[in-house]
A and B are shown apart, each in its own frame.
Chain A
Amino acid sequence: MNILSLVWLVFTTLCTLPAARAASDPWNEQRWIQKVANALEQRQDLSSTTMAQLMQLERSAIVAYFLNRDQFSDAALAALMHFYGRDVSRLKAVAPDGQTSYHPMVWALPQAMSAARNAADGLALDLFDPYPKVLIRPPTPQSGDADGFRKELLRRLKARFTEIRTAFRRPDGTWDKLAGCDLIPTIDEANSGAMGLALAGFEPRLEKLIRSRWLGVLSSEVTRSSPLAVAACDRPSTSAQEISQTLVQIERAIEDLFAQLPLLETPEPSVRTLRDLPIVTVSKELPPLLDHFTGEGFWRALPNSSSNYNRKRAAYLLRTFFCDELGAISVESGHSGEIHGGNPACQSCHFKLDPLAGLFRNHGYMGKDYTGSPYLLFDDFGEMAGDILNKYLNSWKNPDDSWRIGYYLQPGAVHPDWRGNSLSDFLDFASRSKDVKTCFIKRIAEHFLGERQAVDGAWLATLTLNFNAAPNSGIGFKHLIGEILLSRAFATEDPDFSQCYDGPKPGDNTAHRPPCAVAHLLEENCTSCHNDRVARGNLDLSQWQQREGSRFGFPHQDHGTDLSVDESFDRLQKRISGTSLGRQMPIGRMMNSADRQKLYQWFGEQKASGKRP
């Protein structure tokens, strides 16, 4: 962490965060400290001595104390994995001897580990970096001489790779042109060349990764041009020289990787926190060793099929990166025709699902990239080739031959910042997207406050502003967690889940403010046209008033007559979905789908509340 970052963190933590110390009740203060320690994975370190010392500090200083310990990296990982919708406990392992460690290579979303480590080190999160840092348990040499062990291992590997390359070189110095079937044993040989790493003290998963990610490149070289022909062994093959060049690249990458790995002298390295894991960076000449969409964490968990294509994967992207739970909402169809999901009734989900599913259009069985291949094999073993494959791919094309792929806000309306049509384009978009950042902040708050706890959008917006103001996203993330832990919602014992404890900024006028579940959404999207001064459509969405008995609603008139609460919410629901009564609201403003769903659902709940006994 550089000096600037440190100064900023200390300053903001100690000065700008609200110090809500309740020293008048020491028991409550101890309970809160305990809760903070639990939340930051440090409950085991909270001795009575430490507790007594912390009791002398302001709350902001207490949070800073926990945030600046190594164990914060574990808490950061847990929070980041929650963003990805996963529970961190599945990444931890307890060895038979009782040693707790993280998985040496995390198959599920390794970016979270890299980002957590970055946050602990005061660096930018780089959550969408396609080449994340690899955190790996230090390998243990079998012999005491660590340096000699490393050299011997690399010598054996190089010898094996050289042997394979030499096998393709003809005596006259030219390269053999090999048939597909002949290359399969070659790849097997390369694989066997990498074998023995685990036996030699390296983690078995490292060997697996090298095989699947880097040596898998060899398979792609062989099978890319004509996968169907591989089985028949009757196609023109990739040249042996191409294979050899790839082998050289792989050899260099492995050598570079091992050169970075520290070898421990002790047989059982103690990994207490994420910060105990050495960092390894990998060659960018080859595919990333750890992909964002990993085999175990993504491709296998979300298989595609020849009938449903990749919609499960699209749903995962919407849920994870945009907090879009695909709630039902009626919207007008932007197009119709033969394309699946073209039916207006299905459009409420398919208008956004299908374009995102297009990102995976070339990925087949086990996530294999079939780009350029004349056929595609799905996870359900359904195959497509020829005209059927062309029709499948063209289902993501507009009449002008442009792609209909990306993050769509409304039927036919892609997000203005969207560019491209590949998964890497998606990660690039995600790293810039305001919607993704808003979802990220929401998920982190949810991780520490509980999924059921209501939070005010205005508070989340403030958190987002502060996150953006930090020198880098890693420092911003740490500060964000600090703010959440210092919130009233976190401090409240057994909170009421339906109540928002942290609202708009102090001093803001909150009289007649709509319920916190939607107030900020209305302020952001609606009240500029529907307020107490400019009430377009005779609707004022800034005033939440008691209307009929105990029921609340908004001032809403039609031709000078007050609408009933039920009628008002019914119209609001229809206008936000745009199925009837005119154009879809808000006019002239891009509202993301998750926010639209939330308003639609809330209007529906208000309408239904009048029907309850």
Chain B
Amino acid sequence: MKIRRKILSFYFSCFILTGLIITCGERQTSPQSSLQMLSSTKNPGISSRRVGEMEGYSSINEKLRQRLFDIDDKNTRQFSIESIGGIGVYQMRKLLGTYSEGSPTHRFQNGEPNPFNTMLWHHQLSTLARGFSRLCEIQNRDNVEFTVIDREVSFALHPNLRAMMPALCAGSPSFTAREFWEQLMHYEAPHSEQEAWLHFVDHELAAQKDTLERVQETFTTVLLNPYLLLQE
């Protein structure tokens, strides 16, 4: 059973990843994002799509800081994705979309989505999502801190997220997926995209029995959404 879930999880990740690549790679020609593909039958009229480059290393770090962690906590400003994936990620930041260094004018480079940088983002953000899912193993969630893997720095969750976690972990009906989406995505995606994701949560994720995988995928499917990762 465990193996089956692993396989399912792998296929799901591949599906998201492939969808992201297709969405980004085809750009003008592909009308739907990965999540739109998931529920295209529900929203057949979706025509909006994100066509820009990756927002890049700095911008995504800033988004994650502001939306996932408590901005009043002094450690939050130190958060960056290499806190999760290790210093190697920082060394590879140029592949994630950065402004060129060492020249008098800065040019944004490597922002064009390609299979490799999409894979890197997928790896980083799914690792981050897995870290969040492990919070569900903590019994007392009144004062949850998210502890990163390879550094002795803990990051306090955003108050809104902290309040949502118990219900999310418990799979309780009191978990409001809409608020969760808005916390992570804000208003950067069209309404139809949110509806597609909510449909996916209600019909696909709800059936997922493994708590950790369900919570991880709840995070992953928002964090990997092109509307969060790509510029307009």
Contacts and interface: CB of A to CB of B under 8 A. Distances in A.
Interface in A64-97: 84-87, 89-90, 94, 96-97
Interface stretch (A27-35, A363-371, A413-421): A27-35
Interface in A28-75: 30-31, 33-35, 43-44, 46, 51
Nearest to A319: B105
B104 A316 contact: yes
Contact of B103 (A27, A43, A301): A301
Contact of B232 (A51, A84, A85, A495): A495
B115 interface: no
Main SS of the interface on chain B?
Answer: loop
A27 B187 contact: yes
A320 interface: yes
B104 A298 contact: yes
A94 B105 contact: no
Q: How large is the interface on A (under 10, 10 to 19, 20 to 34, 35 or more residues)?
A: 20 to 34
A495 B187 CA distance: 17
Nearest to B75: A98
Given A27-B191, A97-B74, A450-B232, A90 B66 contact: no
Interface in B83-120: 99, 101-106, 108
Contacts of A89: 58, 99
Interface stretch (B48-56, B203-211, B216-224): B48-56
Contacts of B186: 34, 43, 46
A494 B104 contact: no
A493 B188 CA distance: 10
Nearest to A300: B104
Contacts of A262: none
Interface in B39-92: 48-52, 58, 66, 71, 73-78
Interface string A479-496: 000000000000001110
Interface in B184-211: 186-188, 190-191
B13 interface: no
A85 B104 contact: yes
A297 interface: yes
A215 interface: no
B115 to A, nearest CB: 22
B127 interface: no
B52 A316 contact: no
A262 B25 CA distance: 54
Contacts, number: 70
B105 A320 contact: yes
Contacts of B71: 44
A31 B106 contact: no
Contacts of A297: 104
- Residue in B71, B76, B102, B232 whose Cβ sees the most chain A Cβ within 10 Å: B232
Contact of B105 (A44, A90, A316): A316
A494 B192 CA distance: 14
A220 interface: no
B51 A85 contact: no
A424 interface: no
A240 B50 CA distance: 68
A301 B104 contact: yes
Contacts of B232: 35, 450, 493-495
A100 interface: yes
A494 B49 contact: yes
Contacts of A30: 187
A90 B187 contact: no
B18 interface: no
A99 interface: yes
B106 A85 contact: yes
B30 interface: no
A281 B205 CA distance: 61
B187 A33 contact: yes
A355 B136 CA distance: 68
A97 B231 CA distance: 31
A433 B52 CA distance: 34
A86 B105 contact: yes
Given A44-B71, A85-B104, A301-B104, A493 B190 contact: yes
A444 interface: no
Given A320-B105, A450-B231, A494-B48, A27 B77 contact: no
Contacts of B78: 94, 96, 98
A31 B58 contact: no
A302 interface: yes
A457 B38 CA distance: 42
Contacts of B108: 87
Interface in A287-329: 297-298, 301-302, 316, 319-320
A90 B76 CA distance: 19
Nearest to B79: A98
A304 B201 CA distance: 60
Nearest to B106: A87
B77 A98 contact: yes
- Residue in B74, B76, B108, B187 whose Cβ sees the most chain A Cβ within 10 Å: B187
Nearest to A320: B105
Contacts of A43: 66, 186
A301 B186 CA distance: 39
A214 to B, nearest CB: 25
B66 A98 contact: no
A495 B231 CA distance: 11
A43 B188 CA distance: 11
B102 to A, nearest CB: 8
A450 B191 CA distance: 24
A107 to B, nearest CB: 12
Contacts of A86: 104-106
Interface string A542-573: 00000000000000000000000000000000
Contacts of B51: 494
A301 B100 CA distance: 13
A43 B76 CA distance: 16
Given A34-B187, A43-B66, A87 B99 contact: yes
A44 B62 CA distance: 9
Contacts of A96: 78
A493 B187 CA distance: 12
- Residue in B52, B71, B108 whose Cβ sees the most chain A Cβ within 10 Å: B52
Nearest to B28: A496
Contacts of B231: 450
B106 A90 contact: yes
Given A34-B187, A99-B74, A494-B50, 8 more contacts: A31-B187, A46-B186, A90-B106, A99-B77, A297-B104, A298-B104, A301-B104, A319-B105
14 contacts: A27-B187, A27-B190, A31-B187, A35-B188, A43-B186, A86-B104, A87-B106, A90-B101, A98-B74, A98-B78, A297-B104, A316-B105, A494-B48, A494-B232
Going nearest first, the 8 A-B pairs with the smallest beta carbon separation are: A85-B105, A98-B77, A98-B74, A87-B99, A34-B187, A27-B191, A301-B104, A87-B106
Interface of B: 48-52, 58, 66, 71, 73-78, 99, 101-106, 108, 186-188, 190-191, 231-232
Interface of A: 27, 30-31, 33-35, 43-44, 46, 51, 84-87, 89-90, 94, 96-100, 297-298, 301-302, 316, 319-320, 450, 493-495
